[in-house]
Structure 1
Amino acid sequence: MNKELLESIAAELRAGRAVELSVEDFPCFSAQALAGNAHISPDDLGKLAAALTAADAPVFERAARAMNEGDLAWLGFKIVWDAAAAQANTDNEVTKKYGDVGSADGQGAVFFCNDAKEIVSARTPSPRDVFQMKDVTRGPSMHNEQFEGLTWLSVPLFDQVRVWLLGASDAAAEVSALAAHVGFAVTAVDYDPAYLSPERFPDATRVLLEGSNFDGLASLTPAPGDYVCVLTRGHMFDPDSCVWAVRHGVHYVGMMGCKGKNSTVHDLVIARGATEEQWERIKRPIGLKFGAKTPAELAIAIVAELVDVRYRQRYSAEAQTKHDASLGR
């Protein structure tokens, strides 16, 4: 998301001019994101944009300010495909009780919502609307298809966490697909183009190292908030990868491998100048503990851990406790 774009949209609306919203800027409306959903299409973004007025300018202004402040926030969209059904969505026997009013009206809307659940909208939402506004902004972006007649989309106003996959192993290919699916930005690194191919890593930024080793890692620089998964083929370049990750002080680094192999890697990592404290920062073995064995199963364990790390990084202990309590954990 682009802060300047949001400010420009707000200025145009305040000046009484029509605005255009593009799928490139709001990818939750892309054909890929909406694949299989017969109720909505990319055209709905244009219809929503055509209905915006000066009253909607504060939504975009608040979104721009959130980006400037580094707030964990989202720009949300209410899409109505059956106005009567949307307004008839009242309480049932299972969901939380919100009264006898369904959606506030049969019109689409753009709104702002942050993790503190501050909502900015041109029109006053109903209690059930508020529930869905909060629900659709629980993650990087999720669709909300809980009730008939309408749906909710969102785009995050914060950057994706970047995951570096060091090694184009089979497990790395599986991790790449799953990590991208749950909202990570993925960079895959290897020296062999046969393994680091578009077919194996279609959703990743691919970095092909020169030569037949990982010496080229020295030319790459991760950000402090990045995550690193050491998954090199045959574990040959695990030591180089671990040293690179800990020297750059990334937020998370994990390495595939068994206890015996890890002892060997330990000695090589220390010999390359890393400290024992840095070695202890490496999660070994990478991934949550359950009976994962195949590359696809290992990817589930690894990405589940990445999701958990991201959750704990972004949300305070108080917010985590509240979330767990709401789920009855």
Structure 2
Amino acid sequence: MKRETIEAIIADVRAGRVPELSVADFPAFSEEATAGDPHIGPETLAAIGAALSEADIPTFERALAAMDEGDLAWLGFKVVYDAAAAQANVDNEVTKKYGEVGSADGEPLVFFCNDAKEIVASRELSPRDIFQAKDVTRGPSMHNDQFDGLTWASEPLFGKVRVWLLGASDAAVEVAVLAEHVGFHVIAVDYDPAFLNAERFPGAERIMLHGGNFDELANMPAAPEDYVCVLTRGHMFDPESCVWALQNGVHYVGMMGCAGKNSTVHDLVVGAGISEADWDRVKRPIGLKFGAKTPAELAIAIVAELVDVRYRERYSDEARARHEKSLGRE
């Protein structure tokens, strides 16, 4: 989410103009994201924009403050397609009952919610609305069809974590698809267009190196919050990749390979000036352990680890403790 997008919405509403909400800024409403759902789509976003008033400005101002503070927060959207059903339905056959009131009203609503479950909205929400509003912290559309007459969507107010895939191997192809699907910004790097191309990496940012090697990698900056997966073809450029990741101080770096190969890489990496302490930061082998063998299986193991690293990085100790308790993993 871009800060200027929210600032423009506030300015338009304050001036009495209808803000133009774009699916580029709110992709949860795009045709791709809403395919097959008859109740939500790009036209829904336009209707939400037309319904905004000055009473909604504090919601967007709270969103700006969250972005300034680096808060883990979302803009949520209550989408009503049958007002009578939304307000009348208080229960279903599976979930518990949330009082004697269904949705608080039959109107669309934009609201703010963060990981601390603070909710800011222009109107009061019913207990059942609050239950579903809090679920925006779990993704763009969790539990959105539990009750008749309405659905829910959300957009994060924080950026995507960048994942560098160093090497356009078959495993990297599979990782790229899964990592993008779970919300990472994927950057694939290689020197051979036969392997690094739009057909193999359609959704990734692609960086083509020159010279038939990874030497140019040294001239490219990575950020401390980035993740790096060392997946070079034939492991030929694993040492250069590890050195680059460690010199850039990335948050996470993992490398594929067996113990024998990793011992050789260790010697080359340390020989390049990397300390033993930094070498120990390299997760090897990369990915969670559950018997994965094929490139697709390895990708599941790797991306599952990336999700876990992101979870531990983003959420406070208190929030993680609550979640671990809910999973029975105290």
What's the TM-score, normalizing by structure 1? Answer: 0.96
Secondary structure class of the residue paired with 1:75: strand
Q: What are the residue-to-residue correspondences of 1:63-212 with 2, within 5 Å?
A: 63-92=63-92, 94-139=94-139, 141-143=140-142, 144-212=144-212
Alpha-carbon RMSD? 1.3
> Post-superposition shift, 1:176?
0.4
Deviations 1:240-276 (A, max 9, x none): 0001001111000000011111111111111222111
Aligned match of 2:252: 252
Secondary structure class of the residue paired with 2:174: helix
Alignment-mate amino acid for residue 104 of structure 1: A
> Post-superposition shift, 1:88?
2.9
Asked whether 1:299 is paired with 2:283, we answer: no
Asked whether 1:223 is paired with 2:228, we answer: no
Alignment-mate amino acid for residue 302 of structure 2: I
Secondary structure class of the residue paired with 2:199: coil
Of 10-19 and 40-49, more deviation after overlay is shown by: 10-19
Aligned match of 1:50: 50
Flag structure 1 segments of 5+ consecutive residues without an equivalent. none
Deviations 1:168-219 (A, max 9, x none): 0010010001000000000000000111111111111000001100001011
Q: CA contact under 8 A between 1:257 and 1:285: conserved in structure 2? A: yes
Whole-angstrom distance in 1 between the partners of 2:326 and 2:35: 31
Whole-angstrom distance in 2 between the partners of 1:99 and 1:184: 38
Q: Percent identity?
A: 71
Secondary structure class of the residue paired with 2:33: coil
Q: CA contact under 8 A between 1:179 and 1:186: conserved in structure 2? A: yes
Whole-angstrom distance in 1 between the partners of 2:96 and 2:238: 50
Whole-angstrom distance in 1 between the partners of 2:292 and 2:147: 36
Q: What are the residue-to-residue correspondences of 1:258-273 with 2, within 5 Å?
A: 258-273=258-273
Secondary structure class of the residue paired with 2:31: coil
Aligned match of 1:27: 27
Flag structure 2 segments of 5+ consecutive residues without an equivalent. none
* Aligned residue pair count: 328
Q: CA contact under 8 A between 1:15 and 1:54: conserved in structure 2? A: no
What's the TM-score, normalizing by structure 2? Answer: 0.96
Secondary structure class of the residue paired with 2:207: strand
Secondary structure class of the residue paired with 1:154: strand
Of 130-139 and 242-251, more deviation after overlay is shown by: 130-139
Q: CA contact under 8 A between 2:74 and 2:136: conserved in structure 1? A: no
Secondary structure class of the residue paired with 1:189: strand
Whole-angstrom distance in 2 between the partners of 1:74 and 1:54: 20
Of 60-69 and 84-93, more deviation after overlay is shown by: 84-93
> Post-superposition shift, 1:93?
5.2
Whole-angstrom distance in 2 between the partners of 1:94 and 1:24: 36
